[in-house]
Amino acid sequence: MPELPEVETVVRDLKKRVVGRRILDVWTDWPKYFKGLSLAQFKKHVVGKKILGVTRRGKNILIEISSGHLILVHLKMTGHLLLGSWKLDVGRWMPEGEPKEMRDPKNGFIRLIFYLDSKKYPMLALSDMRRFAKVLCGPKDKILNLPDLKDLGPEALEISYKDFRELFKTKKGKIKQVLMDQKFVVGIGNIYSDEILYTAKIHPLSRVEKLKEPQIKVLYSAMKKILEKGIKMRGTSSDDFRDTYGKKGNYGSVILMYQRHGQRCAKGHFIHRIKVGQRSAHFCPICQRLVV
DSSP secondary structure letters along 124-156:
EEEEETT---EEEEEEHHHHHTSHHHHT---BT
Verify whether residue 154 is a known catalytic residue: no
Verify whether residue 2 is a known catalytic residue: yes
The answer to whether 243 and 9 are in contact (CB under 8 A) is yes
Catalytic residue among 17, 43, 59, 248: 59
Cβ-Cβ contacts under 8 Å for 91 (sequence gap 6 or more)? none
Label residues 186-214 b or e (16+ Cβ within 10 Å = b): bbbbbbbbbbbbbbbebbbbbebeebeee
The answer to whether 2 and 235 are in contact (CB under 8 A) is yes
* CA separation, residue 249 to residues 23, 87, 253, 291 (Å): 28, 26, 9, 33
Cα–Cα distance between 226 and 257 in angstroms, integer? 12
Q: Where are the alpha helices (DSSP H) in the chain?
A: 4-17, 39-46, 140-144, 147-150, 161-167, 175-180, 190-200, 213-232
SS3 71: strand
User: Order of strands across the sheet with 79-84?
Assistant: 23-28, 110-116, 123-128, 79-84
Label residues 84-103 b or e (16+ Cβ within 10 Å = b): bbbeeeeeebebeebeebbe
Q: Is 257 exposed, middle or buried (0-12, 13-18, 19+ CB in 10 A)?
A: buried
Verify whether residue 279 is a known catalytic residue: yes
Catalytic residue among 50, 76, 134, 279: 279
Verify whether residue 3 is a known catalytic residue: yes
Residues catalogued as catalytic:
2-3, 59, 279
